Amino acid sequence: MHLVPRRRVLGAALAIATGLTMLPQPASAATTVVLSLPAPTGPHHVGATVLDLKDTSRADPWVPTDPTRELMVTMWYPTNVNHGTTIRYETPAESEGYITGKHLEDYLSPDSFSEVSTHAYLNAPPAGQPHSLPLIVLSPGYTSQRSSLTSLAEDLASHGYVVAAIDHTYETYAIQFSDGRIATCATCAIDDEDTFFPKLFQVHAADVSFVLNELTGAHPAWSGSRLIDATRIGMAGHSAGGAAALSTMLADPRIDAGVDMDGTTYDQLPDSGLSRPFMFLGTQAEHSPGQDSTWDHDFSRLTGWRRWITVAGTVHNSFTDYDAFADEIGLDLGATITGLRSIEITRRYTLAMFDRHLRHIPQHLLDSASSCYPEVTIVAK
């Protein structure tokens, strides 16, 4: 597998496969490894359900012959249920598509990601008072699936948030719709074009706005939408999904606070800037000042509450589930802290961000260095 620098920055080539290409081939596939994620840390049990949403107002931006933009969305939320079937991390078809697309066949069986142990009970009844819970939208990195942010989503839900993670159709290797159809990576043939990522950011913004309409409108698509307080909405994403949080906040005033996890932003903010709270959370190696000129540019145009935070010892995928999976398989992606530690840090700082700005709870963690997290540096405010 060859590396394309632009993809590396935005997370297409620094997925699990990147580490694999630098390692000797194992004697046999890791078919016996059951991948797992750390348990959520909040006081609530977690439920989850899957939505298949159709935006009939627009054709698919990547495959215009599809007259409807169709999106798969996973919802996580608090529940009083603590038993039953847990939600699949991915379907078998999605797992096989991703493993094949990333050339992981020598390391994982085709269904490995469909057998990941999760902590959210499938279709459990939501718990909470009407219009009492903030909503967080999650957007994955380019070619990654919404499942890649499961550990973060489960944790936020366990702390009393409703979470919606979106698969952006045709931007990854396999997305399975509710009727069994599979959408593959149509964009993989055009992602080296100069206009590709600016368009991708706009597509994500339109996708998020549509999902917000479906969850908070007069006739919501999810029965648990009664929980959502539509006046308190946040967005976080990884890589291109994190960069798209800026585009989405510029386009949609309903989003009150955003987090970009290690996504190069491509100078998106205009001179007028963005006045709502925003946090950059990234690797120390690539996202310290002067290392990413687009973070330098866009951070300077954040005119409201802002933070630039780096985490020593991390790599691009440390802010997703993938680095923890690599540890379980025995692969070295280059991080010097464990995948579990990076998940802990990602969860803790993302929760602090949204607790501060959606629940107005003071968070000293975001104001000064913490002895609990010596890997973390608050670069700028």
AA letter at 258: G
Q: Where are the domains of the chain?
A: 5-362+372-380
Q: How many CA atoms lie within 13 A of 3 on its CB side?
A: 15
Q: Are 148 and 122 in contact (CB under 8 A)?
A: no
CA separation, residue 119 to residues 84, 158, 277, 341, 345 (Å) = 10, 10, 30, 18, 19
pLDDT on residue 5:
29
- With H, G, I as helix, E, B as strand and everything else as coil, classify residue 230: strand
DSSP 277-302: -EEEEEEHHHHSTTT-HHHHHHHHTB
Distance between CA 302 and CA 292 in Å, rounded? 16
Q: What is the pLDDT of residue 66?
A: 97
User: Which residue intervals of 36-159 are DSSP H helices?
Assistant: 92-101, 150-158
- What does the pLDDT read at residue 106? 83
pLDDT digits (tens, 9 = 90+) for 243-255: 999 999 999 999 9
Q: What is the DSSP letter of 319?
A: G
Element (H, E) at 242: helix 240-251
Q: Which residues pair with 76 in a beta bridge?
A: 48, 163
pLDDT for the residue 291: 93
Domain 5-362+372-380 part of CATH 3.30.1370.60 = no
The pLDDT, as a whole number, for residue 32 is 65
At 187-221, the pLDDT tens digits run 999 999 999 999 999 999 999 999 999 999 999 99
Cβ count near 27 (within 10 Å): 6
Of the candidates 109, 106, 105, 103, the residue with the CA atom closest to the CA atom of residue 26: 106
CB 171 within 8 A of CB 62: yes
CA-CA-CA-CA torsion sign (169, 175, 180, 182): positive
Question: Which amino acid, 74?
Answer: T
For residues 282 and 285, give the distance between their C-alpha atoms in angstroms, rounded to a whole number: 9
Residue-level pLDDT at 29: 46
Calpha distance 242→255 (Å, rounded): 14
Flag residues of the chain having pLDDT under 50.
Answer: 1-31
| Residue whose pair of structure tokens reads 């909040």 in the numeric block | 42
DSSP code of residue 271: T
